[in-house]
Structure 1
Amino acid sequence: MTPVEGRYQHSAALPYLIQPDGLKVVLITSRKRGRWIIPKGEIEPDLTAWDSAAKEAWEEAGIEGLIATEPLGTYAHQKWGSTCTVQVFPLVVTQLHRAWQEDHERERRVVSVAKAYKLVEMKSLRKMLGKFEKWLNL
């Protein structure tokens, strides 16, 4: 938890699949409040921001995939009595595992972007979802 310029640096994966019925994203619930979010965590010192995000996707959601090395964007998140800056990296899902490290602590759902927009409470994360289809050129 090392602050950089008074902020904690986090990264997140925005897992997605393109299915016959359209673009889908994968959401998980937060552990404490059960809110719908995307996998995220502190950037580990020995990993790049995108590799750290991919690791969070595996641990928190049982997702493997190919992660972008350029972020979709960033958002601010209040945590630990400070502001965390979260870089969001799109991750195309190649495998959703039935069991994973935090499966007993979190729910996981594959939903349309429109449904995700309704489920996600955090305005800054909804803003990321709004930018996502444009980023994909869909």
Structure 2
Amino acid sequence: MTNGTVKQTGGAKGGGKRRQVAALPWRGEGADQQILLVSSRETRRWVIPKGWPMKDRLDHQAAAQEAYEEAGLDGEIVETAFGEYEYLKRLKSGAGRLVKVDVFPMKVTGEHAAWPEKGQRTLKWMTPVEAALAVQEPQLRDLIARFAGVGLPQEERPETAPAPTPVRVALQRLRRRVTALWGRARRRG
């Protein structure tokens, strides 16, 4: 991976596992360490910046690019993945596909005032324990805790709720639209 060649991780076609790359943005040391989480655009869950591998970049470089595009971050990213986790990605077709994500820690050195997806996501710096407990995927929760060297007592590990189905997401959007239209109609009438 360090010889300048691009590692091809685009994943299997036709129903196999796909691969993504992600940055684990952090700042501070020891008790002052923080992890940045971003909200996903569709389900608004807390996640780390991630995306598909890029043909013209090594995986860690693609992860750093995702951190910039999704959260406006610059930083020092490690070249070797710290770990991985899996999640069920909902495709536009409504089908689900299991995706394996390689995670590259990134020490944040700068934050931009503007970036490509500003306004589409919410960003939040959290303590490692808060970040670990905020994410939905158990493997990502454990990876964050392991990276930060923090323990999560069993009683503080809430059951994870399943990701919303495409139907539930569509119904939530419809409910918001109807509520907004109803509010406008009531103000006019």
TM-score by length of 2: 0.66
Tell me the equivalent position of 1:101: 116
1:54 to 41, 59, 64: 64
Runs of 4+ in 1 over 3 A off after TM superposition: none
Q: Which structure carries more helix by proportion?
A: 2
Tell me the equivalent position of 1:128: 143
Query: Residue 116 of structure 1 aligns to a residue in which SS?
Result: helix
Q: Which has the higher contact order (CA 8 A, sep 6+)?
A: 1
Query: Residue 33 of structure 2 aligns to a residue in which SS?
Result: strand
Tell me the equivalent position of 2:78: 68
Q: Which structure carries more strand by proportion?
A: 1
C-alpha displacement at 1:44, in angstroms? 1.0
Tell me the equivalent position of 1:34: 44
TM-score by length of 1: 0.89
Contact 2:84/2:140 (8 A) holds in 1 = no
2:102 to 73, 87, 111: 87
Gaps spanning 5+ residues in structure 1: where?
A: none
RMSD of aligned Cα (Å): 1.8
Greater CA deviation, 117-126 or 60-69?
117-126
Structure showing greater Rg: 2
C-alpha displacement at 1:21, in angstroms? 5.2
Gaps spanning 5+ residues in structure 2: where?
A: 1-8, 150-189
In 2, Cα distance between the equivalents of 1:110 and 1:99?
17
* CA pair 129-47 structure 1, distance change in 2 beyond 3 A: same
